[in-house]
Structure 1
Amino acid sequence: MKPRAVVFAYHNVGVRCLQVLLARGVDVALVVTHEDSASENIWFGSVAQVAAEHGIETIMPADPKASELQAKIASIGPDFIFSFYYRHMLPVSLLALARRGAYNMHGSLLPKYRGRVPTNWAVINGETESGATLHEMLAKPDAGAIVAQTPVPILPDDTAAMVFDKTVVAAEQTLWRVLPALLAGEAPRLPNDLAAGSYYGGRKPEDGRIDWSQSAPRVYNLIRAVAPPYPGAFTDIDSNRFIVARARLVPETGAPGISAERLGDLRRLPIGLSVADNALFGVCGNGRVIAIHELRHRVLNADAQPVGEERAVDPAEFGRIIQSSRHS
């Protein structure tokens, strides 16, 4: 008899891990997912669509603590409950309905980066490695025993989106590799030493505001961590918001097209965004320079909130916007 599971899932990790369960012959009796938010940039795959293609019943409750949901899952009598990037904590009473255990796929190498948006935080903090961890679910988030994990590298110029793509693959590989042992009741239970780890909360678009007085590596890490499809790192000048969509930290020895002599001139520019030789640069508090390869613009209203369409601007247009703003 096939093992029966209820799956809570969303986003690309949810898509791929659901597909792994199906490929391994698990009877997925119910998929619980989220409705896409009209205010969110939906750049990822649809768990609901995958479930529909396989004829799996799918529901989107607003509250996973609802008694109706628990009654429905109890009637299914699942062997396993899985959570793959589902955005709500599941109550212990619900987890207890899984006869053989409840497991979550987390986007970090636990115990590091427990909590929200671990990939973005890892890039912000300049980490060189992240990954995916399958672990038992408890009342406390990301605190249960580790079943399996797979590391991925974070390269110096990787954006969070690039790292997340690697994490999706790592999650798929982790589940594929350990699932036979899990179904057979032979999976390991490795310690998840919370004292040796870290916990981070969620992030808001406002957290992408650039403080140019910080060191260039810190500013560059922020730019990488929230680059599109995330909201982006930004700086406000008068009634204009400029979002740094693509950039590169200029090495202290210079770079192609930027000689050591020219780099010295750039370092003497004021802190913040500047145009030099028809190119955009950000000068940081430690004197180092970030080359801006794509800059986007939005107008700010009287409440300093962005309005209207976001659009790319070149160095010449950036200069015109600044000049016009300061003479208006």
Structure 2
Amino acid sequence: MSRAVVFAYHNVGVRCLSVLLAHGVEVPLVVTHTDNPNENIWFDSVAELAALHNILVITPDDPNTPKVVAQIQALNPDFIFSFYYRNMLKKALLDIPSSGAYNMHGSLLPQYRGRVPVNWAIIKGERETGSTLHVMNEKPDNGAIVDQQAVPILPDDTALEVFQKITCAAEVALNRCLPKLLAGTAQLRPQDLSQGGYFGGRRPEDGKIDWLQSAQTIHNLVRAVAPPYPGAYTLLAGKPVRVLKTLLEPQRQKRAAEPVFYCENGRYYAECGDGKMLRILSFEFDGKIMTADEWISTYGSDTLPLGI
């Protein structure tokens, strides 16, 4: 029986740990994160799954300390797996397992190496992404590929919807390649890093809408940061607005020379920098979701400049 120490968090962590257990891998230790009370915890708990299976769980702030390294060395694992664990593992940890250390990444490597790959793929207008199991080394997301599974990104998919797909993709890829990986017969494929790029993390303030951009670009941003993420934001009538869901409206006529917002026949519209329209399906105005009737009664049907 193979033995693995698992670093894991989030839904991908839960599903991939489940795959290891289903294949009879012995998991003596799970390293995960303590949930941040300031974060929207919308995902499943790796710690709860580990507890269900009587697996020891630790939550160090830094997994690379001598104490944690020594604890894992004493377990003599064949493998280390990282499934959406948020901290980088350094050489002292990566050198421990006799059969290697492997990470599950939420893109089709070598594309979208680095942070929040699902959000970046949507922002960039991709029509496909996936999950990739790869060798871990000291440089992030550049080790040889074990297996990967693609999924489509549909034109109106939100980050949550795509994340649900790549969670399934991660489970499929790991379940498919694990028998050969455990047997030592998996065929690894080096990455051609020239075919992809590295992307950094995103902050809530990166969701600010530039209405001078095209309707498609703004639609992609709204989808990429829609709840449970912080959301795209702007100003309207001098008050803060979170734009939660949009739809491209290619048939509508241009109303103004600059980006504007208006309500017509119970529907909200935004005219963007390229003169094309977005239908605003859901937005939060000054902290409140407003109906069309409420908007008309307060602001009428006149156009209002966006971002002001």
Q: TM > 0.5 between the two?
A: yes
Residue range with higher mean Cα deviation, 188-197 or 98-107? 188-197
Instruction: Please give the secondary structure, in 1, of the residue aligned with 2:74.
Output: helix
**Following TM superposition, by how much is the alpha carbon of 1:199 offset from its aligned partner in structure 2, in angstroms?**
0.6
Gaps of 5+ in 2: 301-308
2:277 paired with 1:285? no
The letter of the residue matching 1:287 is G
Instruction: Please give the secondary structure, in 1, of the residue aligned with 2:141.
Output: coil
- Structure 2 match to 1:73: 72
User: Is the Cα–Cα contact under 8 Å of residues 267 and 288 in structure 1 kept in the other structure?
Assistant: no
**Following TM superposition, by how much is the alpha carbon of 1:203 offset from its aligned partner in structure 2, in angstroms?**
0.3
- Structure 1 match to 2:23: 24
Which aligned pairs between 1:256-271 and structure 2 lie closer than 5 A? 263-264=252-253, 266-268=254-256, 270-271=258-259
Q: 1:237-284 CA distances to partner (integer Å, 9 max, x unpaired)?
A: 35521111111111x2x3xxxxxxxx21x5437514322333211110
2:289 paired with 1:312? yes
User: Is the Cα–Cα contact under 8 Å of residues 258 and 273 in structure 2 kept in the other structure?
Assistant: no
Match of 1:297 among 267, 285, 291: 285
2:204 paired with 1:205? yes
- Structure 1 match to 2:36: 37
Give the number of aligned pairs: 300
- Structure 1 match to 2:187: 188
The letter of the residue matching 2:98 is R
CA distance in 2, matches of 1:212, 1:73: 51
CA distance in 1, matches of 2:39, 2:23: 33
The letter of the residue matching 2:148 is Q
Residue range with higher mean Cα deviation, 16-25 or 223-232? 223-232
**Following TM superposition, by how much is the alpha carbon of 1:322 offset from its aligned partner in structure 2, in angstroms?**
6.1
CA distance in 2, matches of 1:272, 1:200: 32
**Following TM superposition, by how much is the alpha carbon of 1:75 offset from its aligned partner in structure 2, in angstroms?**
0.6
The letter of the residue matching 2:284 is R
When residues 322 and 40 of structure 1 are mapped into structure 2, their CA distance, relative to the original with a 3 A threshold, is farther
CA distance in 2, matches of 1:272, 1:202: 31
CA distance in 2, matches of 1:241, 1:322: 15
CA distance in 2, matches of 1:203, 1:5: 32
- Structure 2 match to 1:304: none
CA distance in 2, matches of 1:282, 1:72: 56
Instruction: Please give the secondary structure, in 1, of the residue aligned with 2:187.
Output: coil
Q: 1:161-210 CA distances to partner (integer Å, 9 max, x unpaired)?
A: 11111000000000000000000001111011112111100001111111
Identity over aligned residues, as a percent? 53
Gaps of 5+ in 1: 255-262, 299-309, 324-328
User: Is the Cα–Cα contact under 8 Å of residues 114 and 140 in structure 2 kept in the other structure?
Assistant: yes
2:130 paired with 1:167? no
